[in-house]
Structure formats: C-alpha cells, structure tokens
Amino acid sequence: MCGRFILVQRLEAIEKRFQVEALADFPLEPNYNVAPGQYTAIISSAEPRKLQLMRFGLTPFWAKKDMLIINARAEGDHNKENRADFSGAKGIIEKPSFRKPIRSQRCLVIADAFIEGTTNEKLSKPYLVYLRNKVRPFAMAGIYDTWIHPVSGLEISSFAIVTTTANSLMQKIPHHRSPVILSPSSEKKWLNTDAPLSDITRLLKPYDAELMNAYPIAATIKSPSATGPSLIQPTGPPLEIEIEYKNTQYLTKKGMGNPKTSFHDHGEETLLK
C-alpha cells in the first residue's frame, strides 16, 4: 500500500511540469508527511488544465458514511497472494468502489517521493522511495469521487492511489505492493476519459525499479501529525548503490511553498543521494 507521500515543490514548478494553472491564492505549503484525511494537489480528468486540492482518502458517491479508502488495488480481488509476477486480470474495473472512477474519474497525484514500510512492520520501519536523477515531481495514478454528506449536504471530493505488484526495489524493502507511477508520456492518456479501458488498464504496472531508489528513515513519520524536513533524514544507506556519490540537495526547502502568496525561507538541507 501507499499511505504517505511527500510534496514540497514550489507551485511554479508544479505548474510548469504538468502544464496546469492554479488559482492565485492556491494554498500549497511544503508537506513532508501527506497522510490520509489531508488535502493535497491533484490534476483531475474533469479539469486536466487546472491544479486542484482534493482529500487523500476516497469515499464512494454511494457510501452511507464518510470513508478513507487510501489505495485501490489494480488486481481487485485477484492476486490475493500478492505475487510479484502476477499478470492476470485487472479486477479494479469490477470493484463497486472503483469501477466508476477507473472509467471516468481518474487523476494525477503529484509527489516528490513516497513513504513505504515493510510488509510486516509497516511504518515502524519506513523507507523514503524516490525516482533517480532528480525526477520530481512525478505523478502517481489516482481515482477520485465526490460524496455528499447526507445531513449537511457538504460535498467532499477525495482520491485513492492505485497500487500494483511490487517491483524488485519494493521487494528489497521488503514490501508486497507499489503505487502505480506514470511516465510523463502516460499522464495524458490516464486523464483522457475517451481512452479505451483496455489502454488504461495496461498502464497499471510496476515502475522500472532501475529508475528508483530508497533509504530508511525514522519511524517518527508514522504519526499523521508529524511534520517538517527532519522526517526525511536518512537513518541508513540507500538500498541501491548509485553510480555517483556526492552530497546534493534532495528536497531543498529554501523558498518552497506557494510563491503566489508568500515566501518562506526554510533553510537548506543536503542528503546523500
């Protein structure tokens, strides 16, 4: 599963990378621990040229009460053993909570990195997983829905991250699942509601492990209220040796936030990459 991720990019960088526009007062602040129930930046298939805020944790439109479904399994009820080599049917298209969103309500979940724990110890033994060569931000495949509170009439738009089988890097953590990370060339297809469903389900595959890496971090991040750059400080070496060793800024905090509203000097940080 993928229950935590990081987004600390400047708003300008997100707009440029995804060719979208946000409102002048878009409330984006650096978040080193995006947790279920929190609002974060997404791009929806309904408005693919706009940056929106949506709640992490999906509630289906038909639900009788508010829910927080954070992940949607690409295999649905298939592959209950979580076999990494599973290549069968994508049962997500059959699940009641997901069969409508996967067809017409898809979104890009924007992140700089995501947090994953081991299968058994979960976030008591977390790892920060990132894309090599400073590829950030990137997009995870998401689906969304809008639920109306039966008493107050309040509308809540929320999303879940689509997960798939573990690639070789995720197996080294070890963890049995991975979020679906979309390549830039696949992002427009994911948002295109006219695309055949078979084309969409073909995107639900693990990302190339050679383009990823991970390092351990402190279990402090398991608390949804934990915040700040100290959460991503490494507590050990990366899982994979990278070709070049040098100190480099991984997630630079200077000036991150919303440049359209204010400037926050968060200082500098360097991590071993």
Catalytic residues: 2, 116
Distance separating alpha carbons of residues 33 and 39, to the nearest angstrom: 11
First vs last Cα of the chain: how many Å apart? Answer: 25
Three-state secondary-structure class, residue 226: coil
Element at 186 (helix H, strand E): helix 184-191
Distance separating alpha carbons of residues 110 and 6, to the nearest angstrom: 9
What are the residues facing 177 on neighbouring strands?
A: 165
Residue 15: count of CB within 10 angstroms of its CB: 16
Residue 50: count of CB within 10 angstroms of its CB: 14
Three-state secondary-structure class, residue 61: coil
Q: How many helices (H) and strands (E) does the chain have?
A: 5, 15
For residue 211, the 8-state DSSP code is G
Within its chain, how far is the Cα of 170 from the centroid?
A: 15
Pairing type for strands 71-73 and 106-111 reads unpaired
